[in-house]
Amino acid sequence: MKRCCINSVQTWFITGSSRGLGRALLDAALAAGDNVVATARDPQALADAAADRPDALLRLPLDVTDPDAAQAALAAAAAHFGRLDVVVNNAGYADLAPVETDTLDNFRRQFETNFFGVYHVSRAAIPVMRAQGGGLLVQVSSLGGRVGGSPGIASYQAAKFAVDGFTRALAVEAAPFGIRTLVVEPSGFATDWAGSSMTVHDIGEDYDATIGAMQRLVRTGESGAAGDPRRAAEIIVRTVAVSPVPSHLLLGVTAVERAIAYSEEQLAQARAWEQVSRSADFAEPYPVPLPGATPADAQ
């Protein structure tokens, strides 16, 4: 998949590159003729990458939860290739456990990777991109980071919501420096996200109908995940060349359908409660009837 519409070679910095979407994105960027800085906790897992273009790939160790390591990796990457055009925050994982019984340490460890890893790498990338006159930050979130509500992965989805809020503010702050942002929101893809990467903690009978059902869905679904990581990676590589880049990119049929349904439901609710919401301001009529309230309710 050679790029047809961009003349210059771009340099990518990708976290969590050893497998899944990160590895697919590494391969897609190299196939497009770009350079890639691939990071992983164990860069030896990337030994088979770029066999035909070894000079285009730099492998670096990186634990995204370590801010000093993030600074060092970004600096080494920029020094090696001279610039960083696209920084992709892809590293992340989810464990399955009820909020009630999950340990605080486990909940925080997930948040450290899924949110603060994004924070550390983004923060380290900003001065590099400012100095070179711009760049693109790609934050890999999920459909759950938009609609939420998946039982058993509260830490993961809370972190993804935080990534979205963080990126929205960062986009406004960094725009004057030529720095763009893109939040990628996939639905289910054929990666190891729900495989060995996911630890399933004690669920208990009380949560079988919710979290137990979630476990059975992601672990034993007969058809498997619908999304193709290679297609997703190629779409991302093509999308970063678009100007302007969309603020959010949904990937997968489920992502599109659930996001649209969620947005329509939110809009309908906001309109139904519009007069009640407006009545909180001093200048607005007050009180106003609640939607669906009967005369007896108002008394």
Give the residue numbers annotated as catalytic, written as ranges.
Answer: 141, 156, 160
Cβ burial of 8 (10 Å; 0-12, 13-18, 19+) is exposed
- Enter the DSSP assignment of 280: T
- Whether 182 contacts 135, CB under 8 Å: no
Residues 58, 13: Cα–Cα separation, whole Å: 9
**End-to-end CA distance of the chain, in Å?**
68
Residues 269, 167: Cα–Cα separation, whole Å: 26
Residues 163, 141: Cα–Cα separation, whole Å: 7
Residues 41, 16: Cα–Cα separation, whole Å: 8
